[in-house]
Structure 1
Amino acid sequence: METKQIRVTGLVQGVGFRWTTQMVANDLGIKGTVKNNMDGSVTIVAQADPLKLAQFISKVKASPTPAGRVDNIEVKNLPDQKPFHSFTVIG
């Protein structure tokens, strides 16, 4: 089980990005959170096996919502993260 922090920039607020990200996460069995940031970016914490995380990150890069646009994505490992039990939209 791995945990990644994913910061997404582009047109990712006000376009249903968090909710469609949650749907993609649920479809793939990803656990974690997604939230808007004050600077207009979105932060995702995603937890799953490495293959599922790679699939999830690929779908996030492609923008899960047709109204949105992903310009950049930064991925960091989060070692020793407590287990999540679901995927939650924060805020």
Structure 2
Amino acid sequence: MKRIHMIVTGRVQGVGFRFSAQQKAQEYNVVGWVKNKSDGTVEIDAQGENDRVQSYTEAIKHGPSPYAKVSDVTIEELETTNEFQTFEIR
């Protein structure tokens, strides 16, 4: 099990990024949340099996929505938790 915290920068707000990030999370069976931040970035907290989280991270780096343009992703590994049951947009 692996849990990561990501800050995604680029053209990631107003382009369906959060919805696409949620769809990808469901596709890879990853739980957690995604939200817009006031500085124009998107924050993601994602948890799942190691290989699924890795695949999810790669999908985020490539921009899960066709209109998004990801310029950078900062990733930090966190302690796993049992608080997530689904992947939600906050």
**TM-score band, normalised by shorter chain:** over 0.9
TM, length-normalised to structure 2: 0.96
- Offset of 1:83 from its aligned partner? 3.3
Q: Show the 5 A alignment for 1:47-58.
A: 47-58=47-58
Q: Distance in 2 between matches of 1:55 and 1:83?
A: 22
Alignment of 1:60 with 2:60, yes or no, is yes
Equivalent residue letter for 2:38: M
Q: Distance in 2 between matches of 1:24 and 1:37?
A: 20
Equivalent residue letter for 2:32: G
Equivalent in the alignment of 1:2: 2
- Offset of 1:78 from its aligned partner? 1.2
Q: Percent identity?
A: 33
Equivalent in the alignment of 1:32: 32
Runs of 4+ in 1 over 4 A off after TM superposition: none
1:85 counterpart SS class: coil
Q: Distance in 2 between matches of 1:24 and 1:2?
A: 17
Equivalent residue letter for 1:52: R
Q: Distance in 2 between matches of 1:4 and 1:78?
A: 6
Aligned length: 90
Alignment RMSD: 0.9
Q: Distance in 1 between matches of 2:86 and 2:75?
A: 20
Q: Distance in 1 between matches of 2:66 and 2:15?
A: 8
